[in-house]
Amino acid sequence: MASLDSVSIAILLGAVLVMAGILSSLLALRFGAPLLLVFLLIGMLAGDAGPGHVRFDDVRTTYLVGSVALALILFDGGLRTRFQAIRAVLAPSMVLATAGVLLTALITAPVAKYALDLNWTEALLVGAVVASTDAAAVFLLVHAQGLRLRPRVGATLEAESGTNDPFAVFLTLMLVELISVGQSSALHVALELGREAVLGSIVGFIGGRLVVLALNRVALPQGLHAPFVTTAALVIFGAAQIGHASGFLSVYLAGIIVGNRPTRAHNSVVTFLDAATWLAQIVMFVMLGLLVSPQRLVVSIIPAVLVALVLMLVARPLAVFLCLAPFRFNWREKTFIAWTGLRGAVAIFLASIPMLVGLSKAYLYFDVAFVVVIISLLLQGWTLAAAARRLHVALPRADRAPRRVELDLPGQLEQQLVGYSVRPKSLYFRRGLVPSWSKPTLVIRDQRILSPAEADPILAGDYIYLLAPPEKAEALDRFFVDMLPSSAPDPHLLGDFMVSGEHTLGELAEIYGVAVGEDQTRLTLSDYFDIHLDHAPKEGATLTLDTIDLVARSLSGGRVNVVGLRLPEEQEETVPLTRMAALKAGLSKMWSSVAGI
């Protein structure tokens, strides 16, 4: 009976842990704290040295669970990556993911050698274990602390974090093999790297296309799409590993392919994997806590702290600045990318590899990784939001994203139903705007289902459903959150070919003679950008209006408030003085009314 009780206790504790993980996600979003540290503490308290007295030293299980968890985390990262978003930063991201990892390991190695009394190969292995950043930890904390990174910085971190893990795993395995066997060659390392990269890319590409084909062709019962995709990701990972290819690269590429193709049940798959990766992070950190020994840490804590500080303050920044030197990043962006090199589940997984093969100093590598993860989450995790704002590379979120309901439509893949609650301060309610690529389809009011015509005018508290392409569904959020207060444009920005976003298309047509449809004459220039952009407005965004280009020159409250007019060259030279005077008079009148003069 005692054995049965122990099984019941294990089930109870496991369920409580999962429930704690689910509830902790709410706390993370509310307080922005690196709550993964809580699960490290739980593991330590439950371990042999804590009051739980659970003896756990099964490195093989740790490696197995770590492999599955990391594969799911990478697949989820690829699934959320829009290739168009990272295409512009693909080159710098790849340099960071390869040369950056190697440089970080090389710069950390001398400190590890002398602080931990290791030989050069062992010291380089310490550097390799802690060299790669953790995508899940980075974006979990970015989201929890209410930040929206600037697109270029966010895309670079996303692509680097997703692609540096395969190289770090390869480097760690090569060094473990070198220490175990005692000899290797540069040619052998280069051939192994090339083989794993090429075969991994092939397996990932083919596997991703097969998953897309199966999702769209096989009529799976409702609710099985997400488990099918999750299992398929692990099949791709396992097949690549068995074929001596990089399974981590394969599963990341497969995720990118699946995420950038129209598929059934896309949103349920993303939601399922989001929960799976969060729980995978929790399991990894609990295992780290179980495996760590406070008695061993007492011996190596000081040199491990030194390694961690050098890694974060010297090695990572030097590697980032050197790798990004050929690319057009300013010093603020480079500094933030350097500081956002958080360590997490990846370091745990890599630290278990030397333990699995039985290297003589395996637990030393593990203890160093433990200290590095703790300090990284405390020092970098707690200061992430402050660093982003101080360096002006991120903007605080004005409001949480609205609760979005997404429904797949059987029989086609191009459109889905996207539903929102209509807020009284939202852009949609106040201005009646929706993007040109979306179509209001039905409205729910007081338990009744109405067509948009029957529900006109839309009331606050209604639920509206729109048809929209799945890949653009998230872009609808900004029309259903509370509008930010906007400020009047700076009059010094307004010139001969700069106008306020509050001017209407009708006014523009009257002055410049452009053709505007009758139904659009009352639209403001700000409205025109909201309707026709596929994403939130950004400075430099350009739209064409008949023969002229409209360029977003300044934003306020999340909307364009100053628009530049790019005219055909011959028109710029022949704009009548009377028209120019009229435009200036209109601008002056509008500015006076806004400023209260």
> Distance between CA 495 and CA 375 in Å, rounded?
52
Tell me, which fold does domain 405-479 have in CATH? Alpha-Beta Plaits (3.30.70)
Label the pairing between strands 448-450 and 439-445. Answer: antiparallel
Domain ranges of the chain: 1-31, 36-396, 405-479, 491-595
Q: Is the CB of residue 199 less than 8 Å from the CB of residue 191?
A: no
User: Structure tokens of 453?
Assistant: 């015509």
Tens digits of pLDDT across the chain (597 residues): 566 667 777 678 767 766 765 666 566 555 544 566 777 777 777 776 667 667 777 778 888 888 888 888 889 888 877 777 677 788 898 899 889 999 999 999 999 999 988 888 889 999 999 988 876 667 666 666 666 777 788 888 878 877 788 888 888 888 888 887 766 666 777 787 788 888 989 999 999 999 999 988 887 887 788 899 999 999 999 999 898 888 888 998 999 999 888 887 777 888 888 888 877 777 777 877 787 777 777 788 899 999 999 999 999 999 999 999 998 888 999 999 999 888 877 887 888 888 888 888 888 888 898 889 888 888 887 888 788 888 888 765 555 566 788 777 777 777 888 899 998 888 888 888 888 888 899 999 988 999 988 888 889 889 999 998 877 777 888 888 887 776 666 665 565 578 888 888 888 777 777 788 877 788 888 888 888 887 778 788 888 887 788 888 888 777 888 888 877 654 444 444 444 455 455 545 444 444 443
Q: How many CB atoms lie under 10 A from the CB of residue 360?
A: 9
Cα–Cα distance measured from residue 297 to residue 304, given in angstroms and rounded to the nearest whole number: 9
pLDDT of residue 595: 43
Strand partners of residue 544: 549
Residues 6+ apart with CB under 8 A from 137: 34, 36, 281, 342, 343, 344, 345, 377, 381
User: What does each C-alpha distance from 285 to 17, 246, 263, 296, 521 come to in angstroms?
Assistant: 12, 24, 33, 18, 58
Q: Name the token pair of 249.
A: 């690269």
- Rounded distance, CA 287 to CA 70, Å? 14
What is the spatial distance between Cα 568 and Cα 34, in angstroms, rounded to a whole number? 53
**Dihedral (C-alpha) 344, 345, 348, 354: value to the nearest 10 degrees?**
-120
Q: Residue 185's pLDDT is what?
A: 67
Give the number of other CB atoms < 10 A from CB of residue 278. Answer: 19
Residue 25: predicted pLDDT? 57
- Amino acid at site 576: P
Non-local (6+) Cβ contacts of 364 within 8 A are: 116, 300
C-alpha 168/C-alpha 242 separation (Å) is: 19
**Burial degree of 571 (CB within 10 A; 0-12, 13-18, 19+):** middle
How long, in residues, is the chain? Answer: 597
Query: d(Cα 276, Cα 416) in Å, to the nearest integer?
Result: 24
3-state DSSP: the chain helix, strand, coil percent, rounded to 5?
A: 65, 10, 25
User: Closest Cα partner for 49 from 342, 323, 289, 361?
Assistant: 289
Residue at 173: amino acid letter? L
Protein fold of 491-595: 3.30.465
User: Could you give the CA distance from residue 323 to residue 269 in angstroms, rounded to a whole number?
Assistant: 35
Q: What is the CATH number of domain 36-396?
A: 1.20.1530.20
Are 374 and 349 contacting, i.e. CB atoms less than 8 angstroms apart?
no
- Whole-number Å distance between alpha carbons of 282 and 41: 11
Instruction: Give pLDDT, residue 594.
Output: 43
Residues 6+ apart with CB under 8 A from 296: 363, 367
How many Å is the Cα radius of gyration of the chain?
A: 27
